[in-house]
């Protein structure tokens, strides 16, 4: 009420206080008008009483004086004392006829009241009221003394009183609104800090805290806000630590599984290939008909060995500490191109000191890139997939010091089955890794075709690249 949607709180409160004060001022004006009307009627009653008493004295004087005046009633003496503009006094005989009447002239100064005010005033107040007092002689009523005020003059007097009051009330109303707005603006100034803090919390800046406030209500909000920020920060820190531990445990389990598969399954396949070769050698001499089956077993073992090698490569990535992240990512893309046989084309673009990233971060980036390429190849039906990794160094940081962030982007020209990027287990794993590294993750799908996976992870320190790792990375890339 009395406010627009999404309007300022100071404006709303000021408008409501202004409405309440206007109602109070209207009540004051009404009281002034009623008090003035009561005063006028009291004055008329007094004039009528004085007139009646004067006429009674005149009648008594006519009876007791030997030479009484010939004229009765004589209202000149009363009129000379009480007459004012618009006032009328009269004597009404017992038969109802006005015997004598005196009226004051209209006011010569001032302006006529507005028509609306005159109509309202005459509707509320009885402007045609007249006051009568009986004139008695020896206990008998001989007539009445009548007094009244012209309605036009009465209305003009009321408007004159009100017109003197209205400028004062209007000035007071404006000053009150200005003072209230200024006081509210000062009192609500801390709400800007509260809003800024909420915006920082929305932007995942959980270090936001509110300063102390003078008002008790704002202090309560400040305490609740700071406690909430601390609880959120602690909860997210615990979640990130748990995610890091789960990812580390998952990587350890993958390495253990890869080692078991290599030692057990790999050795078994190698033994099968050796036995097949021995059987083939014997069959070539004693039973040539078994050569075809031996060759089939050998091919099947070779295919299984290739499948095992690919599974081991996915379970346990190359040693990034020895080879470097650049060579590992290039080997990953080369492996995908070799397995796809031209059906899909994988490309890689690297920028910045990628090999100077911490080893733990490099492993996570490799896992993210591995999962992103797998997701694009299996679910997007893409023909071209581009992997980009960029290390953005801080402008003022010397070599080997601080870096701003690492950005990993995977673009494809396919059509994703999940436009939101929330339901797939692969994307969920990427999101968890990025969250554990205090990074940002986004997945966008184009209107017609194509999708983009973008990861941004802050980096605290860039490592100095050892010379031995440069040689290992060069040999692996070759």
- Phi then psi dihedrals of residue 211, to 5 deg: -80, 170
- pLDDT, one tens digit per residue, over 171-217 is 998 999 899 888 888 888 888 888 888 888 888 788 888 888 887 88
Which residue shows structure tokens 């000062």? 186
DSSP-derived pairing of the beta strands 345-351 and 384-393: parallel
- Is the domain spanning 319-477 CATH 3.40.630.30? The answer is no
**What's the CA angle centered on 208, arms 202 and 214, to 5 degrees?**
115
Residue 387's pLDDT is what?
92
User: For the whole model, what pTM was predicted?
Assistant: 0.49
Higher-scoring residue by pLDDT: 170, 342:
170
* Cβ atoms of residues 414 and 382 within 8 Å: yes
- Condensed to tens digits (0 to 9), the pLDDT of residues 32-62 reads 889 988 988 898 899 889 888 888 888 888 7
**What are the b/e assignments for 139-157, b being 16+ CB within 10 Å?**
eeebbbbbbbbbbbbbbbb
Q: Read off the pLDDT of residues 428-441 as tens digits, 9 standing for 90 and up.
A: 888 888 887 888 88
Q: Strands (DSSP E) along 94-232, which ranges?
A: 98-103, 130-137, 140-149
Report which of residues 111 and 406 the model is more confident about: 406
pLDDT for 217: 83
* Residue 392 neighbours by CB distance under 10 Å: 14
259 band by pLDDT with thresholds 50, 70 and 90: confident
């Amino acid at each position: 009420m009395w406010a627009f949607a999404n309007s300022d709180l100071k404006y709303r409160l000021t408008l409501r206080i202004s409405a309440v004060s206007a109602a109070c001022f209207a009540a004051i004006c009404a009281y002034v008008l009623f008090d003035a009307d009561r005063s006028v009627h009291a004055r008329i009653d007094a004039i009528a009483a004085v007139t009646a008493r004067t006429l009674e004295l005149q009648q008594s004087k006519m009876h007791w004086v030997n030479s009484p005046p010939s004229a009765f009633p004589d209202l000149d003496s009363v009129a000379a004392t009480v007459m004012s503009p618009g006032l009328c006094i009269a004597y009404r005989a017992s038969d109802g006829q006005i015997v004598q009447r005196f009226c004051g002239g209209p006011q010569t100064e001032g302006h006529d009241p507005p028509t609306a005010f005159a109509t309202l005033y005459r509707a509320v107040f009885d402007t045609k009221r007249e006051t009568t007092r009986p004139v008695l002689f020896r206990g008998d009523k001989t007539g009445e003394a009548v007094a009244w005020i012209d309605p036009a003059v009465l209305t003009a007097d009321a408007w004159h009183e009100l017109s003197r009051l209205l400028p004062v009330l209007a000035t007071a109303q404006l000053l009150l609104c200005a003072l209230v707005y200024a006081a509210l603006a000062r009192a609500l100034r801390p709400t800007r800090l509260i809003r800024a803090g909420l915006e920082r919390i929305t932007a995942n800046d959980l270090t936001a805290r509110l300063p102390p406030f003078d008002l008790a209500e704002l202090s309560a909000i400040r305490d609740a806000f700071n406690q909430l920020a601390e609880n959120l920060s602690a909860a997210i820190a615990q979640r990130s630590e748990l995610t890091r531990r789960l990812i580390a445990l998952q990587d350890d389990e993958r390495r253990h599984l890869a080692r078991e598969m290599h030692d057990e399954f790999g050795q078994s396949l190698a033994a099968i290939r050796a036995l097949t070769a021995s059987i083939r050698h014997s069959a070539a001499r004693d039973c040539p008909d078994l050569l075809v089956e031996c060759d089939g077993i050998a091919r099947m073992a070779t295919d299984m060995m290739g499948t095992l090698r690919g599974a081991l490569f996915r379970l346990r990535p190359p040693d990034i500490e020895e080879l470097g992240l650049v060579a590992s990512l290039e080997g990953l893309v080369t492996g995908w191109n070799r397995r796809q046989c031209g059906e899909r084309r994988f490309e890689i673009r690297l920028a910045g000191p990628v090999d100077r990233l911490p080893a733990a971060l490099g492993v996570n980036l490799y896992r993210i890139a591995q999962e992103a390429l797998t997701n694009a190849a299996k679910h997007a039906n893409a023909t071209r997939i581009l992997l980009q990794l960029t290390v953005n160094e801080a402008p003022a940081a010397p070599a080997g010091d601080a870096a701003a962030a690492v950005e990993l982007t995977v673009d494809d020209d396919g059509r994703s089955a999940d436009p939101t990027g929330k339901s797939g287990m692969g994307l969920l794993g990427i999101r968890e890794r990025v969250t554990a590294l205090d990074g940002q993750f986004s997945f966008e799908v184009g209107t017609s075709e194509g999708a983009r996976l973008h990861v941004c992870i802050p980096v605290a320190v860039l490592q100095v690249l050892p010379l031995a790792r440069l040689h290992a990375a060069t040999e692996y890339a070759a």
